[in-house]
Amino acid sequence: MRLVLLGPPGAGKGTQAAILSEKLGVPHISTGDLFRANIGEGTPLGVEAKSYIDAGKLVPTDVTARMVESRLAEEDAANGFLLDGFPRTVEQAEILADLLEKSGVQLDGVLNFVINEDVVVERMLARGRADDNEETIRTRLQVYNEETKPLIDHYGDQIISIEAEGEVEEINARAMEKLGK
């Protein structure tokens, strides 16, 4: 099963991805983990990404796309994957479509974790991370709404909406049911 995970920061995508990965038997591929792994291993892409991060800049789409392409080519992703953090924009979605087409595969769906923004703010404040204050969280939500939310229209009937409020197990049961598992 090849899925993209969408939803605002704090919707629980990472938590659900870990559970779904185990249940579906496919790797959870998070761009954050990819960056850390490539930088930690000192790969050419990691060195390139680190130069942008160290300069306080966003890593360009082409660098992220090459990391994703390299990761999707690994053996454990041959029968499927859960992509978390890529694509973040319509441009990245088009790049992903091209990468998959080259490999002769396509997405099985796009899980969209739907959650009220006030619940996200509460949830993220409760985590108690130093960088999670209400203003920062609301700014991240605004960036999500401007850059990533247009993917919902882009993917159209591939979108599988999952109500992301409630207990972790309940949310996971909803996702598995919608996936027919």
- Any idea which residues carry the catalytic annotation? 13, 88, 127, 129, 140
Question: For residue 30, what is the enclosing H or E element?
Answer: strand 28-30
| Contact between 82 and 27 (Cβ < 8 Å) | yes
Find all residues with CB under 8 Å of 84, minimum gap 6, and list them.
5, 13, 14, 17, 28, 29, 30, 31
Running DSSP on this structure, what letter comes out for residue 58?
Answer: P
| Contact between 100 and 158 (Cβ < 8 Å) | no
| Contact between 41 and 106 (Cβ < 8 Å) | no
